[in-house]
Every structure is written in C-alpha cells, then in structure tokens.
Structure 1
Amino acid sequence: MDELLVATGGGSSRIGLVSCRRPADAIGVMGWLGAINVRRPAEVSAVLRSWEDRLGAVVVGLGFATIRLLVTRPPQTDDAALQVAAEVAALCPDALWQPAEQPPYQPRDATLEAMSRHLVRESVWRLWFD
C-alpha cells in the first residue's frame, strides 16, 4: 500500500508517495530526520502507529522538523486527553513547552492540562521538533 504525504516548507507544498503498509510507517520508511534531536524515525513511527490505532491519527504533512496529523477520534474524556497530552509531550517536548512556535498559534499555557484541552477540540495536531 502506498501512503500520500504532503511535505511543506517555505510557503510551498509538495506531495509525496511512500510505499508502506500504514501511514505511520512512512516516516520510518523514508528516513525522515525532523525529530533527530529528540527521537529516531523508528521511534516516531512507533508512537504514531499507536495513535493511528487508538485515535485515528494519520500523518498528512511533514516539514523540515514538523509533523501534521489529522486526528479522527480525539480523546473524549479529560483523563484520556491528559494521558494523550503526556504522550505528545514525551514524543515532542516542544509541542508542550513552545506552543507559539507552531502556526496557527492558539494561546495556551505550557501545561499538560492546557495541551489536553487543545487536543480534544482540534482535529489537526501540529508537532514541532527543535
């Protein structure tokens, strides 16, 4: 199966086709190094596979150091949202500590609770790796 990814950067986008079994595997297969300061591609793919299964999260965009996910089944309870926020922060600490760096910015505190409220109401999650 082939997965379609949109790579963005510098105001332009490109469409890429990656041969893999699951959307989450595309990052590892293509060797995306955008999180190299934090995680290896295989580690990012493993977390994304879990989110794909549980949350319906699909990679829809990649940038130099960004991932954009379409989430079809976001967490529904406060406890579930807090758990997922902790997972997002563990994978991508910048998503927690530097929310203003990922447009479109919606003001929030740099806390797990604030992030969890954001994750519940957003269908597109943007991760930024410094």
Structure 2
Amino acid sequence: MAKTYFTQDHEWIRVDGGVATVGITNYAQEQLGDLVFVELPEVGRMVKKGDTAVVVESVKAASDVYAPADGEIIEANTALSADPALVNSAATSEGWLWKMKLADEGQLDGLLDEAGYNAFIG
C-alpha cells in the first residue's frame, strides 16, 4: 500500500514498493501561481536528499524542487513538457514530477505525514 510523506520544502513523496513518486504540494503550486515551464530531471540520474531535482517556473518566479531522499530517477512526467499547468490543476495526482527508486527508505522517517504538513503550513 502506498504511503505519502511531505517535506518542509513543500514536496510530497508517495512510496509504493521501494518506488517513490514526487511532486509539489497544492500549497506550493498556489504560492507559485500558474506554471509555464517544468525542467524535468534526466532518467538514470542519481540524486541525494536535498539536491535540486527539478526547476519549475511560474509567471512569478523560478523555484527549485528538492529530492526528498537519495535514489535514482527512473521516470520523468513528460506530459508536463506540453502542459506544465497540470501541476496547478492536479498537483498531487497527474501533476507529479518524477519517479525514483529509493536508496534508503529510512530517510523517510524524518518527513511529515499529511496532518503534520497541514499543521506546518497552518
């Protein structure tokens, strides 16, 4: 069963069988405004927790999206190349950014659950 975690940098990470899907939260996309470009990560790239994995650009600003854990990027959401606004309309579903194979699931222990994240942004 998939479990979802949140970071204080406003990423969500949904883990299912050692594979994690990562995106930005609804709160983050609301703060950014309408996205106009998403710089997707390269498949096969190894990322460390805290590395910039993706850059999203909105009408307001460009923002880094950080890897919430160490791992290998195994898929990028290529639909965002044609329609970056998917992140605005479906941030926690079709607007995901990348999928990765986790190197160490223990790194997820320090992340927030949904209630903790909602209290953090509260």
- What TM-score results when the alignment is normalised by the length of structure 1? 0.26
Higher relative contact order (CA 8 A, sep 6+): 2
Q: Identify, as 1 or 2, the structure richer in helix.
A: 1
Q: Identify, as 1 or 2, the structure richer in strand.
A: 2
